C-alpha cells in the first residue's frame, strides 16, 4: 500500500485580530490546523506569539507583510508602498519596485523576522500576506532575507487549480520556473504542491494525489471563509481515495 500523502494545513493571518487568533488556536487544539503564519506588525501579534508557545505540536512561520498596517522600519524608501498615514497601501503590485524600494523591503522583512524572534517565536517557514513574496521582482530580495535569517522553508507559488480556475499556460510556466528557482537558489525546502483548502476538496483531487507533500492554506476567523472552516471541522480527509497524514512545517 502506498505511503500516505503528507499534508500541512496552514492558517494564514495569525495576529490579525483577537477573533482570528482565537479561531486558529481552537482548530490547532483539535488538530485540524497544524501550522500557522504570524504577521509581525498586526494588532494581535504579541498575544498570538504568547499563545503559540503553548502549542508545541504546531509550527509557526512568518507572514511577511507589505500590504497592511504600518511597517516596523521608518525607511523613507518604502514611500511608494505607503499611504498618507504611513501604513502599507496594498498597491505593491501596481508600483515599480526600484532598487531602493527592494533594499527597503529587505530591511523591513528582516525587521519583521527580528520582531517575532524577540517575541520568542521559533520561525519554521516563510510565506506572505497577499502572496507578496512571490512577486517576481522581489525574488532576489526574498533570497537575501533567507540568507540573512537562515530560514530554509518557504511556501511555493500556487500550483494546484480547479480545471475551471486554471490560469493561462504562460502563467503556469512562470510559476513552475519560480518554484524551481526557489528550491535551488539558496537551497530551500518546500511542499510539492500548494493550494487553498477549498480547491483541494474539489473532485479532481479526490482520487489521485497531486504530490507527496501538500500545503493547504486556510483562513479561520474570517467571515468570508466560514464555509471553509465548517468543512475543516469535519473528517474531510476521509473523502480521499488515498491516505492523508497531517504534519506541521517542521516535517517538510
Interval 123-141: pLDDT, tens: 999 999 999 999 999 999 9
Identify the burial level of 113 via C-beta atoms within 10 angstroms of its C-beta, where 0-12 means exposed, 13-18 middle and 19 or more buried: buried
pLDDT tens-digit series, residues 188-202? 999 999 999 999 998
Q: What is the pLDDT of residue 204?
A: 77
Q: For 93-120, write each residue's pLDDT tens digit.
A: 999 999 999 999 999 999 999 999 999 9
For the chain, what are the domain ranges?
Answer: 5-251
Candidates 1.10.10.10, 3.20.20.370, 3.40.50.2000, 1.10.3720.10; CATH matching 5-251: 3.20.20.370
- Compute the average pLDDT of residues 198-218: 91
pLDDT above 90 coverage of the chain, percent: 92
Local structure of 240: helix, strand or coil: coil
3 state DSSP class of 206 = coil
Distance CA 160, CA 205 (A): 9
Task: Please determine, for residue 1, whether its predicted confidence score (pLDDT) is greater than 60.
Answer: no
Q: Quick one: what percent of the chain has pLDDT higher than 70?
A: 99
Q: Quick check: 41 and 69 in contact, CB under 8 A?
A: yes
Residue 2 banded pLDDT, cuts 50, 70, 90: low
Angle, vertex CA 71, rays to CA 56 and CA 144, nearest 5: 70
Amino acid at each position: 500500500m502506498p505511503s500516505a500523502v503528507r499534508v500541512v494545513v496552514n492558517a494564514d493571518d495569525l495576529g490579525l485580530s483577537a477573533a482570528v487568533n482565537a479561531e486558529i488556536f481552537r482548530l490547532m487544539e483539535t488538530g485540524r490546523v497544524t501550522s500557522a503564519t504570524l504577521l509581525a506588525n498586526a494588532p494581535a501579534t504579541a498575544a498570538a506569539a504568547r499563545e503559540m508557545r503553548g502549542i508545541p505540536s504546531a509550527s509557526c512561520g512568518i507572514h511577511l507583510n507589505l500590504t497592511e498596517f504600518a511597517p516596523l522600519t521608518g525607511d523613507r524608501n518604502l514611500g511608494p508602498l505607503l499611504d498618507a498615514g504611513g501604513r502599507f497601501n496594498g498597491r505593491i503590485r501596481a508600483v515599480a519596485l526600484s532598487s531602493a524600494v527592494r533594499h527597503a523591503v529587505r530591511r523591513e522583512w528582516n525587521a519583521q523576522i527580528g520582531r517575532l524572534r524577540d517575541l520568542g517565536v521559533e520561525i519554521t517557514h516563510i510565506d506572505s500576506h497577499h502572496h507578496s513574496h512571490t512577486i517576481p521582482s522581489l525574488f532576489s530580495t526574498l533570497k537575501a532575507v533567507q540568507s540573512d535569517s537562515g530560514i530554509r522553508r518557504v511556501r511555493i507559488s500556487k500550483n494546484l487549480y480547479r480545471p475551471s480556475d486554471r490560469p493561462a499556460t504562460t502563467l503556469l510556466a512562470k510559476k513552475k520556473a519560480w518554484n524551481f528557482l526557489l528550491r535551488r537558489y539558496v537551497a530551500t525546502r518546500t511542499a510539492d504542491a500548494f493550494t487553498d483548502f477549498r480547491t483541494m476538496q474539489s473532485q479532481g483531487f479526490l482520487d489521485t494525489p497531486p504530490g507527496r507533500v501538500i500545503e493547504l492554506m486556510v483562513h479561520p476567523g474570517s467571515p468570508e471563509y466560514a464555509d471553509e472552516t465548517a468543512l475543516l471541522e469535519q473528517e474531510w480527509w476521509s473523502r480521499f481515495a488515498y491516505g492523508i497524514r497531517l504534519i506541521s512545517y517542521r516535517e517538510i
